[in-house]
Amino acid sequence: MQAELSTLCYLEQDGKYLMLHRVVKKNDINRDKWIGVGGHFEQDESPEECLLREVKEETGYTLTSYRFRGIVTFVSGTGVTEYMHLFTADGFEGEPIECNEGVLEWVPKESVESLNLWEGDKIFFRLLNNNGPFFSLKLVYDKDGDLVSAALDGREMKIQGPYIPSADELTEAALFSACMPQTTESTATKEEAVLHKPEMQKSGLRRILWAAALFAAVLIAGAALFWQNTAVQDGSPGEKRAAVSTGLTAAVSRVKNDAAAAAEVLRSVDTEKYMTKELILVNPWHLLPDGYEAELESVEYGHKMDECAAEHLRDMLSDCRDEGGSPLVCSSFRERTKQTTLFENDVRRFMYRGFSEEEAREETAKNVAVPGSSEHEAGLAVDIVYLYRQTLDENQENNETQQWLMEHCREYGFILRYPRDKQEITGITYEPWHYRYVGKEAAEEITSRGICLEEYLGVISGDESFEALDTDEW
């Protein structure tokens, strides 16, 4: 076997990638393909040195800001294996030149997949576009150039048939073997590893969340929410659960077939009292209102947060690094369209496995967050991991970087949003990487009292948590 080392870089500008159409060399393995710019290492070069040289030679640009995104192991089927060091760059200077490798063209990101790409390139493009953390992707092709297998961070991916994983689905794989900010919970199997988090995020948890969301909808329709002064609230925990069970069947008929209907049910919860920007409550029971727009400001490496939080996050990251830490932001603001795409793609995944559309939507509703229920859409949440250990599990807490963040985040107006002992209230398992901006005053009180945001806002107290309902019969 012959092994080669190379760099591959995608320059970004105004929502476009600089693509190279390889049409010059007759015996080029990339002949007629659209790829990024880059090339093979020269003797004693580091990946960064190779990157800067190749980009300069092929485009005329000098990079001023770039990011190492992952390693792609490219098994060509011809006896050559190439280890590509994948970069993106959002800063460069200089005048463009003609490339002797092909034709350079700025292509809108949403149009890239319509080009003649290597099939496996679609996988890493979706990871890049979703701002995932550093990843390792292995792509194996046969002699005819057809993709025969792929593995993301050591996990086999399902690639056969017409279904190709979407950006959000791939990020679920990367970010929950590495890090990503959705509240989708499911149990990983070898066959479906592309979509699933580690075992700590159980599918039953999402069922608890949906049961609780339906709980709120049923009580609103019948009387009032369980945290208001109603007969249901005054009743025993058993009476509360009985009220949920009574209305569950009727409520699920409204939501199981359509994501928009599910969002309508959840949106009936009154969120107006929590609409101060820093303290807006976003969870499966409280969706962001229609028309909400975060006022975004750049943080670093393409990540953005609402302007009320961005400066504080930059200060926290800077101070952590000054103290010897190595924090890495792996997810920040996310658009509503990404969550909608995730929901619909999961429906499509179930249908590809043989489910009817109705069954597929029902299964999806159990496991995928309804658009509007993610804090990341508000621009107030950020997922931070230790640079040298990006796996998303409870061991993320066992490093000095994360411990520093947990201890000092209140000083910058952030809280650890999903503490270990509050999952029955928040609906989310312990996440020692997910921080939420609430302002310094609220952060100090929440942290010092050992409570969560729901308790601080008076939405629910620790005594009013509910037991998981059996939703296996949905």
Q: How far is CA 367 from CA 56, 210, 362, in A?
A: 46, 9, 9
Q: For the residues of 8-69, what is the DSSP string, one character each?
A: EEEEEETTEEEEEE--S-TT-TTTT-EE-EEEEPPTT--HHHHHHHHHHHHHS-EEEEEEEE
Residue in the structure block whose two tokens are 């080029």: 28
Give one DSSP letter per residue of 421-462, joined into a string: T-HHHHSS---TTEEEE--HHHHHHHHHHT--HHHHTTS--G
CB contact at 8 A, 396 and 402? yes
β-sheet with 327-331: strand ranges across: 327-331, 381-386, 434-437, 414-416
What is the Cα–Cα distance from 325 to 319, expressed in whole angstroms? 9
DSSP state of 321: H
* Residues forming the active site: 431
Instruction: Classify residue 84 by its DSSP letter.
Output: E
Instruction: List Cβ neighbours of 404 (8 Å cut-off, separation of 6 or more).
Output: 320, 323, 325
